[in-house]
């Protein structure tokens, strides 16, 4: 007897198979503008579709797991959403590590304000990246190879990385931490080894635009 659609008894999805190919497909889908805007917020100049987040995750799940999705739409969508949330939370953990290491935290008091600058822009390392930050960037990628791609997607999103956090009361009064990652550039520096941006990662298939 064929298995019914949306069956919750779906076995474990093989995310790690083929060098984490499914995870890379998921990350590439999260980076698609229409998905990124809906899931992680948009800039003032951007528009979003009328799709719900559930529909967006369903579209992504179908892209990542086209065969399995046919007979297990609800379960595959749920597990794909959980994996995306895991990626986001893990990225945030490593971003905090990058910020607080050495000169990665730049504190400039301005009437109680503390500016907490990420030493690497959304585009990744460039000629201005300090050596300690470059070493940490490579170390993070050894542990979590999707960090660079997620940094490009998430680092400037205010609902992911809050622009300001009240952290307490200091000598000058209330202390506010401003998270200010450098803005992304329009293109990679031609003098920088492209491998530093991707660390050996080749682009996964792109998700087709929704109808």
For the chain, the 3-state helix, strand and coil shares in percent, each to the nearest 5, are 45, 10, 45
Cα(54)–Cα(34) distance, integer angstroms: 14
Structure confidence at residue 73 (pLDDT): 95
User: Is the pTM here over 0.75, yes or no?
Assistant: no
Q: Do residues 30 and 38 touch, judged by C-beta distance below 8 A?
A: no
Give tens-digit pLDDT for 73-130.
999 999 999 999 999 999 999 988 888 764 444 444 445 544 455 778 888 888 888 8
Q: What's the pLDDT at 21?
A: 97
Which pLDDT does position 156 carry in this prediction?
73
Q: Is 80 helix (H, G, I), strand (E, B) or coil?
A: helix
Phi and psi (nearest 5°) for 89? -65, -40
pLDDT (0 to 100) of residue 142: 96
Distances from the Cα of 24 to the Cαs of 65, 116, 150, 156, in angstroms?
Answer: 12, 30, 11, 21
User: What's the rounded Cα separation, in Å, for the pair 133 and 120?
Assistant: 7
Residues 60, 35 contacting (CB under 8 angstroms): yes
Assign residue 71 a region (left: φ > 0; alpha: ψ between -120 and 50; beta: otherwise).
alpha
Pull the structure tokens for residue 111.
């009437």
Q: Beta strands 164-170 and 173-179: pairing type? A: antiparallel
Closest residue by Cα to residue 149 from 99, 91, 93, 206: 91
Low-confidence ranges of the chain (pLDDT < 50): 1, 3-6, 102-110, 113-115, 163-166, 175-189, 196-201
Question: How far is it, in rounded angstroms, from Cα 190 to Cα 203?
Answer: 19
Note the pLDDT of residue 179: 46
* d(C-alpha 114, C-alpha 91), whole Å: 23
Contact 136, 101 (CB under 8 A): yes
User: What pLDDT, on the 0 to 100 scale, is given for residue 11?
Assistant: 82
């Amino acid at each position: 007897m064929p298995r019914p659609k949306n069956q919750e008894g779906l076995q474990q999805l093989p995310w790690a198979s083929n060098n984490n190919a499914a995870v890379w497909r998921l990350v590439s889908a999260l980076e698609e503008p229409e998905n990124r805007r809906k899931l992680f917020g948009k800039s003032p100049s951007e528009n979003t579709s009328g799709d719900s987040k559930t529909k967006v995750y369903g579209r992504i799940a179908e892209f990542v797991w086209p065969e399995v999705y046919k007979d297990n739409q609800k379960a595959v969508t749920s597990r794909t959403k959980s994996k995306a949330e895991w990626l986001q939370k893990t990225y945030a953990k490593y971003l905090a590590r990058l910020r607080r290491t050495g000169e990665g935290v730049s504190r400039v008091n301005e009437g109680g304000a503390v500016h907490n600058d990420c030493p690497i822009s959304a585009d990744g390392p460039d000629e201005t990246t300090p050596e300690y930050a470059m070493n940490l960037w490579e170390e993070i990628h050894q542990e979590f190879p999707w960090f660079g791609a997620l940094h490009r997607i998430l680092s400037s999103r205010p609902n992911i990385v809050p622009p300001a956090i009240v952290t307490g009361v200091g000598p000058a009064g209330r202390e506010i931490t401003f998270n200010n990652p450098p803005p992304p550039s329009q293109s990679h520096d031609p003098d920088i080894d492209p491998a530093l941006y991707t660390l050996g990662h080749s682009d996964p298939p792109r998700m087709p635009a929704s109808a």
